[in-house]
Amino acid sequence: MSLKVALQMDHPASLDYKKDSSFLIGLEAQKRSHELFYYSPLELTLKNGRLSAPCASLQFRRKKDAYFTLGDFKETALTTFNIILMRQDFNNPSLYNTTTHILDHITDQTLVLNDPTGVRESPEKLLITHFPDLTPPTLITRNLSEIRTFQKTHPNLILKPLNGFGGMDIYHIKPNDPNLQAVFEMFCRLHPEPFIVQKYLPEIRKGDKRIVVVEGEPIAAMLRVPQENNARANLAAGGSAIKGEITDRDREICKILKPELVKRGLVFVGLDVIGDYVTEINPKSPTGLQQIYKLQGIKCEEAIWDAYETRYIQRQKASQT
């Protein structure tokens, strides 16, 4: 089976071929004889119900300074692709959500993964709030008095923005910390939506576990360990990656989450677990595949593409009935 696969992502030149998961996913597609194409989410055009973008053939290879080759760009109807993978960085929430609305126009003809509606309706820090038994004590608010009341029960707090990423604006507020008011005021200036207030989990010092989950099943894990005197474990914020194990608790969590993830079309997600609690479910361009391979030799991209192909085959069979 050879499929036409389009990667909706930032320009390939912005990739780090030694670290980026999109590079591995593309390589695995090529191993399976799928034909790769690239287009930018900034170049989408919807006209009279027809969705198109300037697309170019794309080839990846593990070769420094020549890890990708692009063909000529040609305006192409996106319904000509069998599968579209949304892999752009989530550094502009408004743009990302807009592209999901636009892609909704073709999901009856082309398989888009993760499902645009499912992604849009599953914000990283909000989806898990539907499973309160799996999360640390959490408050979502812009009300300082609510935070102070919450702090009486949970004096050690983490504050973070609802649409943050890469460790951006994460603050550890310790008991009797005089900076709470100042941090609250800063959040109100920078972030128009309510923000997350959570009980601080001391297990973070042992690592924030990223679990690669495919169709609700845990595939592999790594631990992101924060630097000393830093509350953030994100690799982008200076955290270091070490080998992680999938525990019985992790499997229990995934078993509970699986029906909802599958129903929403969230084929490949990154689950963030600290201790026994889930802090985030990441359906937007999850990362960590290259780090996991280097630490453990597990090729998560194989399980991901098995799932993508299965979804495509099931879709084809359903359309013929």
Give the pLDDT of residue 68.
Answer: 95
Whether residue 222 is found in the same domain as residue 149: no
Of the listed 87, 120, 160, 209, which one is catalytic? Answer: 160
The residue assigned the tokens 């989990």 is 201
Tokens encoding 87: 């892999």
pLDDT tens, N- to C-terminus, the chain (321 residues): 899 999 999 999 999 999 999 999 999 999 999 999 999 999 999 999 999 999 999 999 998 889 999 999 999 999 999 999 999 988 788 889 999 999 999 999 999 999 999 999 999 899 999 999 999 999 999 999 999 999 999 999 999 988 776 667 889 999 988 889 999 999 999 888 999 999 999 998 888 999 999 999 999 999 998 777 655 555 555 667 899 999 999 999 999 999 999 999 999 999 999 999 999 999 998 999 999 999 999 999 999 999 999 999 999 988 887
CATH number for position 10: 3.40.50.20
Contact 259, 243 (CB under 8 A): no
Whether residue 171 is found in the same domain as residue 216: no
Residue 122 inside a domain? The answer is: no
For residue 163, indicate whether it is catalytic: no
CA separation for the pair 8, 37 (Å, rounded) = 9
Closest CA to 105 of 160, 29, 53: 53
Of the listed 224, 234, 250, 264, which one is catalytic? Answer: 224
Count CB neighbours of 41 within 10 A.
21
Whether residue 70 is found in the same domain as residue 56: yes
Residue 171 inside a domain? The answer is: yes
For residue 56, the enclosing domain spans 4-113
Task: Return the sign of the alpha-carbon dihedral for residues 137, 140, 146, 151.
Answer: positive
Residue 263 inside a domain? The answer is: yes
For residue 63, indicate whether it is catalytic: no
Whether residue 144 is found in the same domain as residue 236: no
For residue 232, indicate whether it is catalytic: yes
For residue 224, indicate whether it is catalytic: yes
CATH number for position 247: 3.30.470.20
Task: Return the sign of the alpha-carbon dihedral for residues 231, 237, 240, 243.
Answer: positive
Domain total in the chain: 3
In this structure, what DSSP letter does residue 33 have?
T
Give the pLDDT of residue 6.
Answer: 98
Give the pLDDT of residue 136.
Answer: 95
CB neighbours of 100 closer than 8 A, spacing ≥ 6? Answer: 86, 116, 117, 119, 120
For residue 142, indicate whether it is catalytic: no
DSSP 41-103: GGG-EEETTEEEEEEEEEEE-S-TT-SEEE---EEEEGGG-SEEEE---SS-HHHHHHHHHHH
Count CB neighbours of 37 within 10 A.
23
Whether residue 94 is found in the same domain as residue 57: yes
For residue 104, indicate whether it is catalytic: no
Of the listed 199, 209, 210, 264, which one is catalytic? Answer: 210
Residue 77 inside a domain? The answer is: yes
For residue 160, indicate whether it is catalytic: yes
- Render the burial of 184-220: b for 16+ CB within 10 Å, e for the rest: beebeeebeebbbbbbbbeebeebbbbbbbbbbebbb
Contact 287, 89 (CB under 8 A): no
Whether residue 175 is found in the same domain as residue 94: no
CATH number for position 193: 3.30.1490.20
Residue 164 inside a domain? The answer is: yes
Residue 314 inside a domain? The answer is: no
Whether residue 109 is found in the same domain as residue 8: yes
Of the listed 28, 208, 272, 301, which one is catalytic? Answer: 272
Whether residue 265 is found in the same domain as residue 222: yes
Of the listed 87, 120, 125, 264, which one is catalytic? Answer: 125
- Render the burial of 260-283: b for 16+ CB within 10 Å, e for the rest: bbeebbbbbbbbbbbeebbbbbbb
Residue 60 inside a domain? The answer is: yes
Whether residue 229 is found in the same domain as residue 251: yes
Domain boundary among 171, 200, 229: 200
Whether residue 15 is found in the same domain as residue 35: yes
For residue 87, indicate whether it is catalytic: no
Residue 305 inside a domain? The answer is: no
Whether residue 85 is found in the same domain as residue 12: yes
CA separation for the pair 17, 295 (Å, rounded) = 17
Whether residue 102 is found in the same domain as residue 26: yes
